[in-house]
Structure 1
Amino acid sequence: MHYRELTLWRKAMDAAREVYQLAPLLPREETYGMRSQLTRAAASVPANIAEGWSRESEREKAQFLAIAQGSLAETETFLTLCEEIGWFPTADTERLRTLLAEVGKMLTTLRRNFRSHP
């Protein structure tokens, strides 16, 4: 199966698109700060899922899925900070939060499966 066929990868891509749609709400002076950090972290999630899925060994796949999970946590942290500062109204982040939660659960399950089948 190609990574583009993975529901996990598609949901991660949807989440990254949501981040890019929210990014213009950030203050202009945050172009090289929060905007850069947030979009980079969000794009890293599907990118690492794709890279991991393309690897031969289960160990390498698991390693890239772990990196994707770290990038997901980073994305959630930046999103929370943006909400708390008042840059992103929580009404505008509901869909993104749902997607991030779904991706997180899927990543956890997939990583658990790789650990239990070495």
Structure 2
Amino acid sequence: MVTIYKATKNFPREELYGLTSQMRRSSASNPTDIVEGCGKFTSADFANFCRLL
């Protein structure tokens, strides 16, 4: 996540609420999605969930 913030730091100011925001939010949601997948019933379910990301 830190890498994304560093990469988007120098994006144009007018992109702050567009592309920059979208990239930062998606970098935070990926780990959350993986944790959600850990709650699936079987290892196969979890593996399938990770492939969908």
Percent of aligned positions that are identical: 32
Aligned to 1:32: 17
Aligned to 1:52: 37
Amino acid at match of 2:28: A
Task: Report the count of equivalent residues.
Answer: 50
For residues 42 and 26 of structure 1, the distance between their equivalents in structure 2, rounded to whole angstroms, comes to: 16
- Compute the RMSD of aligned alpha carbons: 1.7
For residues 11 and 20 of structure 2, the distance between their equivalents in structure 1, rounded to whole angstroms, comes to: 7
Query: Equivalent residue of 2:9, what SS?
Result: helix
TM-score (norm 1): 0.37
Give the helix-richer structure, 1 or 2: 1
Query: Equivalent residue of 2:17, what SS?
Result: coil
Runs of at least 5 residues in structure 1 that lack an aligned partner in the other structure: 1-15, 70-118
Amino acid at match of 1:57: F
Runs of at least 5 residues in structure 2 that lack an aligned partner in the other structure: none
Amino acid at match of 2:34: I
For residues 47 and 17 of structure 1, the distance between their equivalents in structure 2, rounded to whole angstroms, comes to: 16
